[in-house]
Amino acid sequence: MATQESGSTVVPEKLLVALMREREVRPRALLFAQHVAEVFPDTSVAIYVIENPDEAEWSAKAVVGEIVLESELIALDSGTLGTVAEQQESILFFGPDLAREDYAHLHARRTLRTLAYVPFIFDQVLIGTLEIASFGSPLSEDDLSALVDLSDYVAPAIGSALAHERERNSHLQSISRLAQLYDLEKVFNSNLEMEKLLPIVASKFREILNVQAVNLWLVKNDTELVLLNREGEDESMAIGSVIKSGDGIAGTVSESGEPLLLDDVDDERLKQRRIFSAMAVAIVAQENQVGVVEAINKLDGKPFHDDDLFLLTTVAETAANALHNASLLQAERKVEILETLVDISKEITSTLNLDRVLQAIVNRTQSIISFERAAIALEQRGTLELKAISGVPNINSADPQVRALKDMLEWASISSNEIYVTQRDEKIDDPRPETQAKFAAYFRESGMRSFYALPLIDDQGQLGLLSFESSDPDFLNTAHLEIIKVLAAQATVALRNASLYREVPFINVLEPLLHRKRRFMAMAKHRRIATAALSSAVALFLIFCPFPMRVSGDGTVASARSAQIQSELDGVIKEVFVHEGEFVKQGQALATLQDWSRRSDLAEAEAKYSEATAAMNHALSTGDGTEAGTEKVKADYWNAELIRNRELMNRLSIRAPFDGIITTPHVEDSVGRHLAHGDVFGDMVATSHVTVDVGIPESDVSLVQKGDSAAIKLESFPVHTFHGVVAVVSPRGEVEADHRVFVARVDVPNSDGLLRPGMQGLGKVSVGWHPAGYVLFRGVAMWIWTKLWSWFGW
């Protein structure tokens, strides 16, 4: 075999070719170690390299022979290896001269005779060393000299391999960094809810930077920053802390706009925070500062450096647009909430109808607060009466849920302060054991996980109580609580006025009568006679002239048919095709679920079916009946799987069960929501036919019969009258406000889809022809008769 000579050392060409064939450090080191072990029998060989000069440690890349290493990573100054690192020249140690601690990194069962080291010097830099442990004949200085000559060829090979690996790792790190930034941008932009986005941003910052804590400061106004979120531990600043621009680390960055790196432990700003290193970068989107991100202490105990600051700046740029978009959405929602609150305030203050005020408060508020149930109870004659529940036009006091709610409101009315109790897992967040026990039972029975009650109080005392409930313990935030308090103040005024107005029902009648009496007595005699004659004619008219009589009451549109649209499969909503209030036809696709594995299952089933069919046909053509029968069974099985998978693919579309209108608010925002089998995707109601529930006063219910015609006038269509027929009069009365009513359910055609559930107005039921006086004054006469009977009795 051809060889190459260097002085007295013969370098095998085979070794050089093998070294050039390999590009990695470990294979080259192993080839050289094996060669040295062959040249020097009864020895063990190890090769160490210094991969990163900043790490100050040896990394074992090859071990040949009987020795075992304690660890692949060894401190640079450890024992004999430390001597090599210090002297950077070949060294020969004799076993008797060494203490066991000098080569503690090695484990060998035999007696060590000599321990030799030959350093690898490449470009005048120590990059590694060769270690030879002999257990037979001791090594000599000549042997060491030959190895030094041989290392002149090996050192460049090891050095070039190290350079190759560093370049490759650098490229991989760059690619990984780009992938991380791409993933970050996707994660940050996947959510526009500020409360959900802030924890995501902070956790991703901390994960990438590997630091003790990350603080997210957002701009509060032109001169202040507020700490809204933290990931990790930092006792020097509390969540919600406010600092002025120019103060502290974040304030300095906010004022200057320049990144800040603090790595000097003597810096006063670090001492005040009791930390050893920090860096901060302004979050700027579209030339507007959104806030400041602040990183505290690296977890490896080292101070931050410029590369860390560059990484923080890059990630901050990625997060800036997401935070800016979330802040714009938050501001837009605040405007919408204020506009809705103004509309609700106008509605409840523009009428003295107590029932309308109550229904507006508990139902309209859902457009700005995502609760599941709202209720109002009013103080009347020393007792608390439940007057309105959201989504319930008529309260059934016998319902166990209603009784439980009323009991809870009576308990809450004892206190003149607001009450806010939530349950997370099995923990009730109230310090009092009796309150914990009470709400544990209530939440278990009602299915709710959050209860908020606010007393309605004015200068005349407590009027009642307003409550909100939800199965989400975090359904109320600070903004919602402020909105509820504003709404409660306006509702108190509106309810007080409506209650007072109801207590004086004839004030608008009596006052004009007295005024007219005075005017009548002031008339001349002939004019009084003419007026009396005219009054007599009117009286005769009222007695003998027939008039159509109608019984009226507040009407509420209810759907003749409604449905909860449920998912037939487990999955995540991929796309929604409809919006709230949109008309849909029966069978129309409303949304689709992610098809993920189902499409591949379908393709697999098709392929297996085709394969089995082909095998069956082949077996039939060759006359192999047994094989054909087997393949037919397989084909039948895969055909069944194919049909099943096609059916599952069809079920990925959620479809309308009938013609109607979607009633679920913001149903288009359901994209990304997970649905289990049977979960409700949304609600819809039929539009071709509706029922209007007209509340007939107890005094008039005897006049109404099934089949009577009715006319409906709704607030939504003041110039349009809808006609229908009484389908049924409820046999059981219900308490509404301070009187009892019976519900007459009127069937009303709705072919044009104008009527929608929840619309309110007035219904009039035609009950036949009666004298005009009876029609016009029946109510007054009955009231007088009742009063007289209550006074005298007979």
- Separation CA 692–CA 745 (nearest Å): 6
Neighbours of 31 (CB within 10 A): 21
| Confidence (pLDDT) at 451 | 93
| Confidence (pLDDT) at 117 | 92
Q: Which helix (H) or strand (E) holds 75?
A: strand 73-75
Burial class (CB in 10 A: 0-12, 13-18, 19+), 106: buried
Residue 476: strand pairing partners: none
Question: Token pair 């997210």 is at which residue?
Answer: 216
- Separation CA 538–CA 676 (nearest Å): 71
- Separation CA 428–CA 324 (nearest Å): 36
Any residues with CB less than 8 A from the CB of 790 and at least 6 apart, and which?
Answer: none
3-state SS assignment for residue 706: coil
Q: Which helix (H) or strand (E) holds 682?
A: strand 680-685
- Separation CA 583–CA 266 (nearest Å): 69
- Separation CA 594–CA 319 (nearest Å): 28
Give φ, ψ of 736 to 5 degrees.
Answer: -130, 115
Burial class (CB in 10 A: 0-12, 13-18, 19+), 297: buried
* CB distance 619 to 631 below 8 Å: yes
- Separation CA 322–CA 283 (nearest Å): 11
Spell out, as residue ranges, where the chain has pLDDT lower than 70: 1-11, 16, 169-198, 286, 318-334, 336-337, 501-515, 518, 559-561, 595-603, 605, 648-650, 737, 792-794
* CB distance 68 to 145 below 8 Å: no
Closest CA to 293 of 335, 249, 331: 249
Any residues with CB less than 8 A from the CB of 569 and at least 6 apart, and which?
Answer: 593, 648, 651, 652, 675, 677
Domains of the chain: 3-169 (3.30.450.40), 191-333 (3.30.450.40), 351-503 (3.30.450.40), 686-791 (2.40.30.170)
Strands 211-219 and 114-122: unpaired
**C-alpha dist (Å) from residue 55 to 51, 58, 87, 243, 732:** 8, 9, 19, 39, 86
Reading the block at residue 122, the tokens are 């490449």
Closest CA to 476 of 324, 632, 368, 322: 368
pLDDT for 1-17, tens place per residue?
333 333 334 557 777 67
- Separation CA 391–CA 557 (nearest Å): 12
* CB distance 691 to 558 below 8 Å: yes
* CB distance 56 to 75 below 8 Å: yes
Give φ, ψ of 42 to 5 degrees.
Answer: 60, 35
3-state SS assignment for residue 76: coil
Reading the block at residue 500, the tokens are 């007072």
Residue 172: strand pairing partners: none
* CB distance 349 to 493 below 8 Å: yes
∠ Cα 612 618 622 (to 5°): 145
Question: Token pair 């993933």 is at which residue?
Answer: 183
* Long-range contacts formed by 715-724: CB under 8 A, 24+ apart: 715/759, 715/760, 715/761, 716/756, 716/759, 716/761, 717/754, 720/754, 722/692, 722/748, 722/755, 723/748, 724/692, 724/748, 724/749
* CB distance 558 to 750 below 8 Å: no
Per-residue DSSP letter, 302: P
| Confidence (pLDDT) at 468 | 92
Reading the block at residue 736, the tokens are 């509404």
Any residues with CB less than 8 A from the CB of 503 and at least 6 apart, and which?
Answer: none
* Long-range contacts formed by 6-12: CB under 8 A, 24+ apart: 6/149, 6/150, 6/152, 6/153, 7/149, 8/145, 8/146, 8/149, 9/146, 9/149, 9/150, 11/150, 11/153
Reading the block at residue 323, the tokens are 């935070």
Reading the block at residue 676, the tokens are 């289990």
Write the DSSP assignment of 121-190 as a string of letters: EETTEEEEEEEEEESSSPP-HHHHHHHHHHHHHHHHHHHHHHHHHHHHHHHHHHHHHHHHHHHHHHHHTT
